[in-house]
Amino acid sequence: MSRRNKHHTEEFKAEAVELVERSGKSVPEIAEDLGINARTLYHWLAVQKPKTVSSIGTSEADLASENKRLRRELEIMRQERDILKKAMGVFAKEQR
């Protein structure tokens, strides 16, 4: 059986990926509607994903540092909350 390679334009690929992201349909359904193999569409999604992240302007290193900063901030907030809970308990006992 001979294998026929279809060459799709970058515009077609981008529109197919956008269709997957915006519609409520599954990848196999969209692939069937477009007349392409579902694996091909999954591949286009995987290739397009890094482009989408880089177009936003955030790299993985930026996201990791932001995540680290937010975790530190969350830990400080938890400590402050715990201190306030203990203080409320102390003041509640004094008023009795």
Based on the domain organization, do 53 and 72 belong to the same domain? no
Based on the domain organization, do 52 and 93 belong to the same domain? no
pLDDT band at 93 (very low <50, low <70, confident <90, very high): confident
Checking if the pLDDT of 24 tops 70, the result is yes
Cα torsion 21, 25, 31, 33: sign: negative
Based on the domain organization, do 1 and 44 belong to the same domain? yes
Tally of domains within the chain: 2
Supply the pTM of this predicted model.
0.48
DSSP state of 14: H
Distance CA 61, CA 71 (A): 15
Of the chain, the end-to-end C-alpha distance in Å amounts to: 89
CA angle 88, 92, 96 (to 5 degrees): 170
**Joined tokens for residue 35:** 């007349």
Q: Summarize pLDDT for 44-88 with one digit per residue, the tens.
A: 999 887 665 555 566 788 888 999 999 999 999 999 999 999 999
Domain interval for residue 29? 1-57
